[in-house]
Structure 1
Amino acid sequence: MAEDKYLTKLFCQGLSVPVPLGRVYRPADALSAPLFAGPYFVKDRSGAGSEGIFVDNLQSDWAGARRIVERFTNAGKDALVEAYCPGIDVTVPVIGHAPYSVLGYVTPRSDKLGSIVTEDLKLTDHLGYEMVDVDGMTEAIREDIDKIWTTAGPMDYFRVDYRIDFVTGQRRLLELNLCCYIGESGAITLAGEQHGFSKNDILAHVVEYSLKRQVGSRKHCQWVL
């Protein structure tokens, strides 16, 4: 699930966590239209860091979406087509801690059509991140995270990425990032600062938690820890 967005979708559907409708297209597949209506958002099934995401990945109809699908499949990649979700991206950093702690709710700033976070925004990070109030969705999001943790945990740290429409109150989980960036300008560091944690504090906690978690897992390798 660290890289496979479609596997994440199936996993979350099984937990009754809301996700966008989606369909995978492999390089050898016939490019028939999905069974759900547009607008469509097309992305790499296994991409990270918004790689391959441009403004034209958002298409109003299947004819346009098909061209973007072919961009991926012609490069030998699986394409994931999803029903476009209005709203903004909201990422929720979580760290393992008795059993886990939600650090907060962060949105990456975007000046693109549909508030899309494109490859260039991720690479340069020139617009940065900001904390966001998720209004009355806090309890529902925490229930989602509890389901994920109970089923797939424990995890040293991870990030849950949503698309949230604050007009309708709808949330859709887009992906789980199990090995996400911890840096000076990242979402995890910004969220941690709200609790008085520095980047180094978070890194130290993640390493310490991970080592303690693994002590009993491989008794013949305890000397490593």
Structure 2
Amino acid sequence: MRLLKILPEDKRRLKVMFLAKHALADGTPDPQDGNHAVYHVEMRETLRGIGLHVEARNDFDALFTPTGADFVVTLLNRAGFLNSEMLAPLLLTREGTPFLGASPIIRGLGDDKHLMKTVARQRGVAVTEWNVHRRGALSPPAEPHFAWERLVVKPNASSASWGVGIFDQWDTAAAHIADLHAQGHDAIAEPFFGTGDVVLPVVGGDGPVLLPAMRFAMPGAGDNFRSYEEKRALVDAPRERLEAITDELLVDRMRADVMRLLPELWPFDYGRFEFRHDAQSGTLRFMEVNLSCNLWSKKTVSGAARLLGVSHAELVETIVAHSMLRQGVIAAVERV
């Protein structure tokens, strides 16, 4: 992986806004968001550590008047309302201020699990069967047309396993769909498949950079399911272990699928492509894409970069430099 560095003269002149829910926090875990608060503070200090002048803000009010910023690093993705990940990109596009991530419409596509499965199937990428259950649909949720023994029901646009339920009876699955609708969410249902998640991170550098493929190993969990509370360290539970995938054939298949999907999503600055894999049969199925995913040093993208000898700070600077360069904020970078 070739690293990108922002030139010293650009670091001196650029005004960068860092927008995140916990951007003004002290790094203490939050009672509701857990280690996400730690992540936001780490990102703020990493940006400052690479030499950028950073103003930290923690709400959308900062975007309703001119920001005065040359570039915005926005992590204000889950802001308490549906499709909130699109609001900062929309407001910044309205103002004409470049920002980290991807365009609003691409963010919306990536966060809609049903639409991304539709795109994947059109691109020749294997997916599990699924039903989408929109709020206000023409007909009430019906039992799936596909065969299933256990049914996974989750919000159609969510992250970190929030709202995910696994059911072996349709009546309880339907009740969960109704509950998600009552909370303002569309729902998606798919058969439980495979023995674990496998992930391929992609970041911007000199074009798309496909990082090493990774898998999660969850001690004591036969289905490798990690709840929202576990991912955010809100409960006392075994921690997942992030491992590099050494099966070269599996990695090649994942990379081939990602390359089929990239033309629908590029340009973006960072994300991860997630699949379900069945170790017994070798079957691989695309699950979802998470653009502008978690960049905490303890999570997937940074862990994959470390396998290449890239530090967290080097990774963040490369991603930010790529974003600034593609949007004309800077005219050149140093390549290492």
**TM above 0.5:** yes
Tell me what 2:141 maps to. 31
Please tell me whether the aligned partners of residues 271 and 292 of structure 2 are also in contact (alpha carbons under 8 angstroms): yes
SS in 1 for 2:229: helix
**What is the number of equivalent residue pairs in this alignment?**
215
Q: Distance in 1 between the 2:204 and 2:144 partners?
A: 38
Q: Which residue of 1 aligns with 2:229?
A: 120
Letter of the 1:34 counterpart? P
Alignment-mate amino acid for residue 283 of structure 2: Q
Tell me, yes or no, if the aligned pair for 2:111 and 2:290 is still in contact at 8 Å.
yes
Give the Cα separation in 1 of the matches to 2:120 and 2:168. Answer: 26
Q: Which of residues 93, 101, 114 is equivalent to 2:209?
A: 101
Partner of residue 156, structure 2: 45
Letter in 2 for 1:49: A
SS at match of 1:146: helix
Q: What corresponds to 1:196 in structure 2?
A: 309
Given that 2:153 and 2:188 are in contact with CA atoms closer than 8 Å, whether structure 1 keeps it comes out as: yes
Aligned residue among 252, 255, 268 for 1:142: 255
Task: Provide the rounded CA distance (Å) in 1 between the counterparts of 2:263 and 2:178.
Answer: 38
Which residue of 270, 295, 307 corresponds with 1:157? 270
1:67 paired to 2:175: yes
The alpha carbon displacement at 1:150 in A equals: 2.6
Distance of 1:174 and 1:117 partners within structure 2? 15
1:180 has 2:289 as partner:
no
| Larger CA deviation: 44-53 vs 104-113 | 104-113
Structure 2: unaligned runs, 5 residues or longer: 1-108, 332-336
CA distance in 1, matches of 2:187, 2:221: 21
Which residue type is aligned with residue 163 of structure 2? G
Superposition RMSD on alpha carbons, in Å? 2.0
For the residues of structure 1 that align with 2:188 and 2:261, how far apart are their CA atoms?
A: 22
SS in 2 for 1:114: coil
174-183 or 94-103, larger mean C-alpha shift: 94-103
User: Per the alignment, in what secondary structure is the counterpart of residue 19 of structure 1?
Assistant: coil
Using the alignment, how far apart are the partners of 1:74 and 1:151 within structure 2?
A: 32
Are the aligned partners of 1:105 and 1:134 in contact in 2 as well (CA < 8 Å)? no
Answer with 114-123 or 169-178: which moved more. Answer: 114-123
Tell me the CA shift for residue 12 of structure 1. Answer: 0.9
Q: CA deviation at 1:222?
A: 7.6
Unaligned runs of 5+ in 1: 216-220
CA contact (8 A) 2:275 2:286 kept: yes
Task: Calculate the TM-score normalised by the size of structure 2.
Answer: 0.60
- SS of the residue 1:2 aligns to: helix
Q: Which stretches of structure 1, 4 residues or longer, exceed 4 Å deviation after superposition?
A: none
Indicate how the Cα distance of structure 1 residues 171 and 85 shifts in structure 2: closer, same or farther if over 3 A, else same.
same
Local SS of the residue matching 1:175: strand
Give the distance between the partners of 2:330 and 2:304, measured in 1 at CA: 33
Give yes or no for contact 2:215–2:242 (8 Å, CA) kept in 1. Answer: yes
- Residue 211 in 1 paired to residue 324 in 2? yes
Measure, in 2, the Cα distance between the counterparts of 1:88 and 1:209.
Answer: 32
CA drift at 1:113: 4.9
Take 1:107 and 1:118, find their aligned partners in 2: how far apart are those partners?
Answer: 16
Corresponding residue of 1:218? none
1:3-37 CA distance string (max 9 Å, x none): 21111111111101111111111233412112112
Report the CA distance shift for 1:58/1:98 in structure 2 as closer, same or farther (over 3 A).
same
- Give the conservation status (yes or no) of the 8 Å contact 1:41–1:84: yes
